[in-house]
Amino acid sequence: DQQVKQNSPSLSVQEGRISILNCDYTNSMFDYFLWYKKYPAEGPTFLISISSIKDKNEDGRFTVFLNKSAKHLSLHIVPSQPGDSAVYFCAGLPSGGSNYKLTFGKGTLLTVNP
């Protein structure tokens, strides 16, 4: 049972344009959602998060939108840069998550073409 789904395994965009990465979840107990970026042969690095009580969080070029009723979130990167090319993982954290059990999606490979 996949609780976090990233249905697009890959996405290709042109430099300067917007990248939109999508994520769906099934677990209503998720309280926070986090996005991680991963380069080859490196561990994931934290990018941005959003609490379930919010519908938007913005940090520079990165904005995460949460539609709780649709159990859907998306990461917007604008403008996209070639250095953004990486695998992006969406993760959910349930309420009472003191033990921090993140549930990850399969990831989406973003390629930003110069």
Partner 1 sequence: GAVVSQHPSRVICKSGTSVKIECRSLDFQATTMFWYRQFPKQSLMLMATSNEGSKATYEQGVEKDKFLINHASLTLSTLTVTSAHPEDSSFYICSARDRLRARVNSPLHFGNGTRLTVT
Q: Which is nearer to partner 1, 28 or 51 (CB)?
A: 51
Binding site for partner 1 (CB under 8 A): 2, 4, 9, 31-32, 34, 36, 41-46, 49, 51, 89, 93, 97-107
Q: In DSSP terms, which residues pair with 104 in a beta bridge? A: 91
Q: Which is nearer to partner 1, 14 or 55 (CB)?
A: 55
Q: In DSSP terms, which residues pair with 72 in a beta bridge? A: 24, 67
Contact in structure between 45 and 58 (CB atoms under 8 Å):
no
| Pairing mode, strands 108-113 and 10-14 | parallel
Q: Residue 84 has what DSSP assignment?
A: G
Q: Minimal distance in Å, beta carbon 49 to partner 1?
A: 6
Q: Which is nearer to partner 1, 9 or 82 (CB)?
A: 9
